[in-house]
Amino acid sequence: MNKENKFLENEKISKLLLKFSIPCILSLLISSLYNIVDQIFIGNSDIGYLGNAATTVVFPITIIAVAFAWCFGDGSAAFLSLCQGRKNTKDADKAIGNSILISFIISIIFVIFGFIFMDKILFIFGASNSSIDLARDYFKIILAAIPIYMLANTVNSIIRADGSPTYSMISTLVGAILNIILDPIFIFTFKMGIEGAAWATIIGQIVSFIVSFIYFFRSKTFKLSLESFKINLSIFSNVIKLGVSTFITQMSIVIISLVCNIMLAKYGAMSKYGSDIPIAVIGISMKVFTIVINIVVGIILGGQPIIGYNFGAKKYSRVKEVFKIVIISTIIIGIISTIIFEVCPQVIINLFGTENDLYMEFALKTFRIFLMFVTFTCCIKVISIFFQAVGEPIKATIVSLARDIVIFVPLVIILPNFFGVEGTLYAAPIADIFGVIVSISLVSIFFKKITKEEKVQTNKSKNSDIQKSKKGVIITISREHGSQGKYIGKLVAEKLGIPYYYKEMTAIAAKESGLDKEFVSKINQSNNVMHDLYLSTVPVQYAIDAQDKAIRNIAKQGACVLVGRAADYVLKDYKNLVKVFIYAPKEYRVKNIMEMYNDNEKDAIKNIDKSDKNRASYYKIISGKTWGDIKNYDLCIDSSIGKDETADIICEYVNKLKLV
């Protein structure tokens, strides 16, 4: 077990959380400054709440850009994490280069559409006749810098994955500090108004991008070249799969903001407040709320590697301890925030400028109603990220969307019909109650399951030693389900007099890493409908890394036969490597499965399809290549000629190469 794993398994949980969470919290809080600072200075200028209404209208539009940028950034970062430890810098370079290039292309399309349809877009997102001029002045400057903004957000995730979270934080911090310095200078000294706020923002973004760009000359685990930017749809499709959850999360924010702004504009115009006051106030409350969320998200993100490793090792008591500390911290932060929002919201509201009595009246209502159950919202977010950490992306998505899309959005549309503009505010606490019920229910079921597992848990590691061997050929066998590839592999090993590894690979990986054998064994067998996303989760990445190290350690001992586990790709740089793919007609495989597992024909076909699909998905994520493609193998054989006959062909091929 390596030193890092021992640290995650044995170090005091509270100490680990402090070590990992503080940088995450600081990084997220710095990011949120961009959203907050402009509104504070604009609100205290001559522009007042109309300026804040204008920035609130523009905010969800920029989130769309961020959704794409983070999808590509987080996707390529996850791909880089999968490649680390396997020395696959070439494929990692292509994933990163493709992400940067496509992010840039989409940003240009975004700019073109933005300028062509500017007014239509702004009105859709809630601009009024009073705020449209300010929104236009602010948006045209922000829009022009969208390529820089998207690229900066794309590369930031990659820098963190490359093992430099501090550098990533510094690049964001430099831009945020510059934005804070320039805002009052441009807005008040140079009398540039809302355009000054926009210029301060994009200058900060440009500097952040430059600092981030410099990093690529000193990256640790990859090096970019012109070849890296050549479009590779096979690799980039993996990036999309790994980043799609981030995209969904960000787009849900856009949907919430869009629907909320539309309803506030519509029903606000029918009320004494008008359409601009509600939109300005809701923008402020959401951005203040973001600060609270970022603190608790920072805590749980810091806990992800601790949860992921210990879940994979089936150290469930430590998983429970991390969750307990995180959820208690979240509740404390939520309660403190709620007290402030309920008892003295005016202290926060006044930071964004003091307006007329109507403005203050609606602002007080918003903070006291809209943010009433902020503690619940925080818990929902924490539980969603917790499920990601334990390899449950479907549950994570359900928790995340149940509150925001399933309940909040419909309520925002329905309630104002009965309660006017205030109905929009009540949608949030009702959605929070529903969301927390769903979250607690799912997490309770999850902990009951692992508690039950804990009681019957055994950690058997039979045949977990690497066998000594002689110098010679390493044969990797990939196979379709039912083609009898593992039996053929065993026959080949016996005929050549060399060690054979199948389940033994996972046992060795479990023993050397401290992970649970069963957990490692099942990482490429999940029938999860989000299998690709499952493979990118923290505990599974630990297992994949441990398994690959075990395969390389086995290969160092000399000649052997390895069945499955993408061993052909893991050992691609070995000279004495023969890569074999075993296939057979489906009817032949169905017959074998029916005999081996006593399945009926329908179940046999279903099991073959599921197994082959998961193997293909696993191989694609690991290698970026197509499982079963003849170009990836030295020898492809139809095993329907017979097990012995197939084994003889492999042995004959190997003997002719004179590698044994």
Which among 270, 303, 335 is the end of a domain? 270
Eight-class DSSP state of 501 = E
Residue 338 lies in a domain: no
What is the tens place of the pLDDT at every residue in 63-84?
Answer: 999 999 988 988 888 778 667 6
> Six-digit token pair at 238?
């993996």
CATH number at 489 reads: 3.40.50.300
Q: Between vectors from CA 570 to CA 565 and to CA 572, what angle results, nearest 5°?
A: 130
Residue 289 near residue 374, CB atoms below 8 Å: yes
| Closest of 652, 657, 636, 658 to residue 476, by C-alpha | 636
Residue 644 near residue 488 (C-beta atoms within 8 A)? no
- H-state helical runs in 459-573: 485-496, 503-513, 517-521, 531-535, 538-556, 567-570
Residue 158 lies in a domain: yes
Q: What is the DSSP letter of 636?
A: E
**401-450 pLDDT, tens digit each:** 899 999 999 999 999 999 999 999 999 999 999 999 999 999 999 999 88
**CA-CA distances (angstroms) from residue 119 to 113, 127, 139, 282, 291?**
11, 9, 10, 21, 30
- Distance, in Å, from the CA atom of 283 to the CA atom of 254, rounded to the nearest integer, reads 13
Which residue, chain included where needed, has tokens 């805590």?
Answer: 299
The amino acid at 406: V
Name the one residue in this structure whose structure tokens are 């911090």: 173
Nearest to 312 by CA among 402, 225, 198, 391: 391
- Return d(Cα 378, Cα 432) in angstroms, integer: 9
Closest to 521 (Cα-Cα) out of 478, 557, 563: 563
Mind giving me the DSSP string for 200-247? HHHHHHHHHHHHHHHHTTS-SS----GGGGS--HHHHHHHHHHHHHHH
**In the chain, how many domains are there?**
2
Tell me whether residue 603 is in a domain: yes
pLDDT of 82 reads 65
- Mean pLDDT score of the chain, rounded to an integer? 87
* Ramachandran assignment for 514, one of left (phi > 0), alpha (psi -120 to 50 degrees), beta (any other): left
Residue 496, domain member (yes or no)? yes
| Residue 242 belongs to domain spanning | 45-270
For the chain, the distance separating the N- and C-terminal CA atoms, rounded to the nearest angstrom, is: 32
Low-confidence ranges of the chain (pLDDT < 70): 1-9, 35, 81-82, 84-90, 455-464, 512-513, 524-538, 659-660
Distance from C-alpha of 304 to C-alpha of 301, rounded to nearest angstrom: 5
- Kindly report the number of other CB atoms within 10 A of residue 482's CB atom: 26
Q: What is the pLDDT of residue 314?
A: 78
Instruction: Name the domain boundary from 214, 239, 270.
Output: 270
Q: Is 419 helix (H, G, I), strand (E, B) or coil?
A: helix
Cβ-based neighbours of 498, under 8 Å, separated by 6 or more: 469, 470, 472, 473, 558, 559, 560, 561, 660
Structure-token match 């999968």, residue found = 82
pTM: 0.73
Question: Phi-psi category of 566—alpha, beta or left, where left has phi over 0 and alpha has psi -120 to 50?
Answer: left
CA-CA distance, 96 to 70, in Å (whole number)? 12
Q: Treating both helix axes as pointing N-terminal to C-terminal, what angle do 276-312 and 233-269 enclose, rounded to 10 degrees?
A: 140
**How far from chain centre, in Å, is Cα 239?**
11
What is the rounded radius of gyration, in angstroms, for the C-alpha atoms of the chain? 28
**Other residues' Cβ atoms within 10 Å of the Cβ of residue 584:** 23
Residue 562, token pair as written in the block: 């390895």
Query: Is residue 206 a part of any domain in this protein?
Result: yes
In angstroms, the CA 429 to CA 426 distance is 6
Residue 462's pLDDT is what? 45
Say what the alpha-carbon torsion angle 70, 74, 80, 81 is, to the nearest 10 degrees. 160
Residue 343 token pair: 């008892």
Examine residue 653 and state whether it is found in any structural domain, yes or no: yes
CB proximity list for 325: less than 8 A, separation 6 or greater: 13, 14, 17, 303
Residue-wise pLDDT tens digits, 581-628: 999 999 999 999 998 888 899 999 999 998 998 888 888 877 778 899
Residue 362, domain member (yes or no): no
Q: b/e string for 317-343 if b means 16 or more Cβ within 10 A? A: ebbbbbbebbbebbbebbeebbebbee
340 vs 336: CA distance, rounded Å: 6
What are the CA-CA distances from residue 142 to residues 102, 196, 224, 284, 654 (Å)?
20, 11, 29, 19, 63
Would you say 43 and 123 are in contact if contact means Cβ atoms under 8 Å apart? Answer: no
> What pLDDT is attached to residue 165?
77
Q: Cα separations (Å) of 340 from 279, 337, 351, 363?
A: 22, 5, 14, 14
Q: Cα–Cα distance between 11 and 309 in angstroms, integer?
A: 13
Q: How would you class 587 by CB atoms within 10 Å of its CB: exposed for 0-12, middle for 13-18, buried for 19 or more?
A: exposed
302 inside domain: no
Asked which of 246, 270, 294 is the last residue of a domain, the reply is 270
Model pLDDT, residue 264: 93
